[in-house]
């Protein structure tokens, strides 16, 4: 009978268990782009690439599996614009036995950090990646230089 064990050598890398979303997102081993996001950002920019529809962007966002990803989301709440950071988006797949649920085919993402072992989940609507016109935004440089002033208690 032949030996079915792999040849001796270094132990395979085992993914680290992450205790928080911060640890998960800071794990460089999980970054498929290794810090180079220019091409990804260009796909999201309608002035650079207007050939990618918001439907395709949503499909790509919810279909990447456990790849660390996060998006900034603006929402109007109580006459104030709030910025949220949904992450690890995915689509709820219906069960194999065919019993439908109210969540079948809907897309979700996590919001925020774990609080007493619970995380907030938000629904991503089908138009979550559509282009929005006439939005005023601060530049990256402005945000970095004024970060402490821009932070507001939740």
Look at the chain and report how many structural domains it folds into: 1
Residues 9-19 have a mean pLDDT of 57
Residues forming beta bridges with residue 82, ordered by sequence position: 75
- Which region among 25-34, 65-74, 92-101 has the lowest average model confidence (pLDDT)? 65-74
pLDDT over threshold 60, residue 14: no
Q: Could you tell me if residue 139 is inside a domain?
A: yes
The band of 150, judged by pLDDT with boundaries at 50, 70 and 90, is: low
Residues 89-97 have a mean pLDDT of 88
Residue 39: domain span: 21-150
Its pTM surpasses 0.85: no
Q: Could you tell me if residue 1 is inside a domain?
A: no
Q: Could you tell me if residue 120 is inside a domain?
A: yes
Q: Could you tell me if residue 8 is inside a domain?
A: no
pLDDT digits 0-9 by tens, 59-87 = 888 887 767 788 888 777 787 777 788 88
Q: Which of 92, 71, 73, 93 is nearest to 84 (CA)?
A: 73
Q: Could you tell me if residue 15 is inside a domain?
A: no
* 87, 21 contact by CB (below 8 A): yes
The pLDDT of residue 3 is: 44
The pLDDT of residue 117 is: 79
Q: Could you tell me if residue 2 is inside a domain?
A: no
Q: Could you tell me if residue 34 is inside a domain?
A: yes
The pLDDT of residue 100 is: 92
Residues of the chain above pLDDT 90, percent: 5
Q: Could you tell me if residue 7 is inside a domain?
A: no
């Amino acid at each position: 009978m032949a030996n079915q064990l792999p040849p001796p050598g270094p132990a395979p890398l085992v993914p680290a268990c992450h205790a928080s979303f911060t640890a998960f997102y800071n794990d460089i081993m999980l970054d498929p782009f290794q810090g180079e996001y220019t091409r990804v950002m260009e796909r999201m920019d309608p002035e650079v690439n207007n050939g990618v529809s918001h439907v395709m962007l949503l499909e790509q966002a919810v279909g990447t599996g456990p790849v660390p990803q996060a998006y900034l989301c603006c929402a109007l709440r109580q006459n104030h614009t709030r910025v949220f950071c949904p992450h690890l988006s995915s689509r709820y797949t219906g069960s194999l036995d065919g019993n439908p649920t109210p969540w079948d085919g809907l897309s979700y993402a996590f919001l925020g950090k774990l609080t007493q072992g619970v995380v907030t989940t938000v629904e991503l609507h089908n138009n979550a990646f559509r282009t929005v016109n006439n939005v005023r935004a601060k530049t990256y440089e402005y945000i970095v230089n004024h970060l402490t002033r821009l932070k507001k208690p939740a």
